[in-house]
Amino acid sequence: MDSDALKALIRTVPDFPEPGIQFRDITTLIGHGPGLSATIDILARRAQAAGAQAIAGMEARGFIFGAAVAVKLGLGFVPVRKPGKLPIKTIGIDYALEYGTDRLEVDPGAIANGQNVVIVDDLIATGGTALAAAELLRMAGARVDHALFVIDLPDLGGADRLRLARLSVEAIMQFSGT
């Protein structure tokens, strides 16, 4: 399946979570076996081309795509978690949201110093979470040069923010607007 066929599998839910937002729902993509498989294949080829030695994904939808890519490539998966989810000593980073802050944590022992870790997530919007994840993984000793996404919302500028932070950004598809 090509990117246009995959894009057709994304459901758009108007006015969610608030009026004026066009929510891009991956549930219909991940529920379609051939579409999910094709998506993982595309992401895996791109991660392999980037020289991935491990794949990182952010909670929660990044776990779906990132873990599948890691399995496809025979690589380890590094879960970037919300606070308080890991039962060991973690390192973390606080980052700004539109209204407030959030935090990401990782097991520093999950990453070898200098290991080439590729970030995989479902969607890039403003880029705040991916940018924080890249910084956190770098704090843990990873080399993070690539971020892969199923969907880019280019009007929100997230991919440009990541590029300014020395990340190559690729997405399978784009949707205009918010």
List b or e across 108-141, with b for residues whose CB sees 16 or more CB atoms inside 10 angstroms. bebbeeebbbbbbbbbbbebbbbbbbbebbbebe
pTM metric for this prediction: 0.96
Distances 19 to 16, 22, 98, 124 between C-alpha atoms, Å: 6, 9, 16, 20
Beta bridge pairs of residue 95: 102
Please report the pLDDT score of residue 6 as a whole number: 98
Question: Nearest-5° angle of CA 139, CA 140, CA 143?
Answer: 80
Please report the pLDDT score of residue 75 as a whole number: 98
Please report the pLDDT score of residue 178 as a whole number: 64
Residue whose pair of structure tokens reads 């520093």 in the numeric block = 108
| 95 and 74 Cβ atoms separated by less than 8 Å | no
Catalytic residues: 61, 98
The secondary element (H helix, E strand) that includes residue 128 is helix 128-139
Beta bridge pairs of residue 97: 100
Spans of the chain, pLDDT less than 50: none
Structural domain boundaries in the chain: 3-174
User: Would you list the DSSP string of 60-88?
Assistant: THHHHHHHHHHHHHT-EEEEEBPTT-SSS
Q: Which CATH class is domain 3-174?
A: alpha beta
pLDDT 10s digits, 109-146: 999 999 999 999 999 999 999 999 999 999 999 999 99
Mean pLDDT, the chain, whole residue set: 96
